[in-house]
Structure 1
Amino acid sequence: MLGSLKGDIRAVFEKDPAAKNFFEVILCYPGLHAVLAYRVAHWLLHLKIPVLPRVLSFGARFLTGIEIHPAACIGRSFFIDHGMGVVIGETAIIGDHVLMYQGVTLGGTGKQLGKRHPTLGNNVVVGAGAKVLGNIEVGNNVRIGAGSVVLHSVPGDCTVVGVPGRVVYQGGKRMDPLAHAQIPDPVADVIRDLIHRVDELEQKLDEHSTPKVSAAYRSMEEFHNGLGI
């Protein structure tokens, strides 16, 4: 557990440019406080101590606004930036080096028994306000855009955006893990393609119709001149 705590503190300095010194991080980061409380509650739960783990979890929620069930499984170097409104369910599994922003929910979709919360791989970034729901798997190195709602499993090395979440591959391009709002918009891309296609069709239509219109206009003008109009 002590190794995990050291990794969580180190993750703050690695993933938050605002982190200045050790004492500031220890005293002023509610995301770190919630994770530290979770580590202790999870350890007590494994010792089969009743009630106390949930009480500790509730106290951390009251102080930080972050709810992490003691039974959730969280890997090393986990960091919640800002953190208010984060909810992590009982059967959620989170890999190593995961970054999560405020308002994120790893929740269920009903009253099913057994595994009912998501599984996140390593090096996953979950943007602000994103919801990942149900017993689904999110692969390694996935970025979930801010405000997205993910309802189906996601393969590794891609980005998920939208409501419901749509997978958008990055083509091997390395993305900044902190830029969770700089995400592609597949709907806007389609609209731009349609506008470009319409412009091409209008241009071709003008090229074919202009000579005929000009010839008709000249014929009409000559007819009027012949009548002296």
Structure 2
Amino acid sequence: MERLKADFRRKQEIFKEDGADVSMLRIVMADGSSANILYRCMRWFAAHRLGLVAYFFQCLNKYINGCVIGSGAEFGPGFVIMHPVGIVINSKVQGEANITLESGVVIGDEKGKSPRLGSNIFVGAGAKIIGDLHVADKVKIGANAVLTKSAEEGATMLGIPARPYQRTTEQAEQ
């Protein structure tokens, strides 16, 4: 329950950063919050070796939200699903605190190995993170980017395949 509260507090912070100072009730009713609730319920039952009940919550999330998160996927506090439709996360994925996902994100396995995510990560709509890689802290992954190699701390990853974004001198001056 503490992690779910932390998820909602983080979502409220994100809304506030975007200029919308909204109540906790509005956060709980916002798009994606039901996916967070069902994910945290699934994880609790999976952690307590109640796999059948965990599977029920996984299926419920899939049918209600269009969001598939494997029962072994573990995220720290501050995990925020902004828009759940199309999200697919492999059971072996491990993530730390304050990870924000937009719609259509895929975090998947390749040859039995899954990504490891640090803290304070934003993943844009439609982005894919695939294989045995590490996404360091404070990374932003742009919409529709395909990340197949590790990302260094503070990087903004864009493109297919995703590469660190480098501002040119001209862009910095504008």
TM range, smaller chain: 0.7 to 0.9
State how 1:10-89 maps to structure 2 within 5 Å.
10-16=9-15, 17=18, 20-29=22-31, 31-89=32-90
How far apart are residue 26 of structure 1 and its match? 1.9
* 1:104 counterpart letter in structure 2: V
Match of 2:8 in 1: 9
Whether contact under 8 Å (1:41, 1:70) holds in the other structure is yes
- Report the Cα distance in structure 1 between the residues aligned to 2:24 and 2:156, rounded to whole angstroms: 33
Q: What amino acid is the match of 2:22?
A: K
Aligned to 2:151: 154
Q: Once the two structures are superposed, what CA deviation does each residue of 1:28-78 show, in whole Å capped at 9, x if it has no partner? A: 43x221121111111111211132211211111111111111211101111
- 91 and 19 in structure 1: CA distance in 2 versus 1, 3 angstrom threshold: farther
Q: What is the TM-score of this pair, normalised by structure 1?
A: 0.68
The aligned counterpart of 2:95 is 94
Q: Which of structure 1's runs of 4+ aligned residues deviate more than 4 A?
A: none
> Aligned ranges for residues 65-214 of structure 1 at < 5 Å?
65-110=66-111, 112=112, 116-168=113-165
- What RMSD over aligned residues (CA atoms) do the two structures have, in Å? 1.8
Per the alignment, in what secondary structure is the counterpart of residue 33 of structure 2? helix
**What amino acid does structure 1 have at the position aligned with 2:28?**
I
1:158–1:168 contact (8 Å) kept in structure 2: yes
Unaligned runs of 5+ in 1: 170-183, 193-229
Q: CA offset at residue 5 of structure 1?
A: 1.2
- Code of the residue aligned with 2:69 in structure 1: it is I
Identity %: 28
How far did residue 80 of structure 1 move?
1.3
For residue 215 of structure 1, what is the aligned residue in structure 2? none
* Aligned mates of 1:36, 1:19 — CA distance in 2: 22
> Which residues of structure 2 form unaligned runs of 5+?
none
In the alignment of these two chains, the number of paired residues is 166
Task: Compute the displacement of 1:102 (Å).
Answer: 0.8
Moved more, 39-48 or 20-29: 20-29
DSSP 3-state at the match of 1:154: coil
Q: Distance in 2 between matches of 1:158 and 1:28?
A: 29
For residues 133 and 127 of structure 1, do their structure 2 counterparts lie closer, same or farther at Cα, with a shift above 3 Å needed?
Answer: same
Preserved CA contact (<8 Å) 1:19 1:25: no
- Cα deviation for residue 19 of structure 1 reads 6.6
Paired AA for residue 160 in structure 2: V
Q: Answer whether contact 1:105 1:131 (CA < 8 A) is retained.
A: yes
Larger radius of gyration: 1
Which structure is higher in RCO with an 8 Å CA cutoff and minimum separation 6? 2
Other structure's SS at 1:35 match: helix
Matches of 2:21 and 2:37 in 1, distance apart? 17
TM-score calculated relative to the size of structure 2:
0.87
> In proportion to residue count, which structure has more strand?
2
d(CA) in 2 for partners of 1:19, 1:27: 15
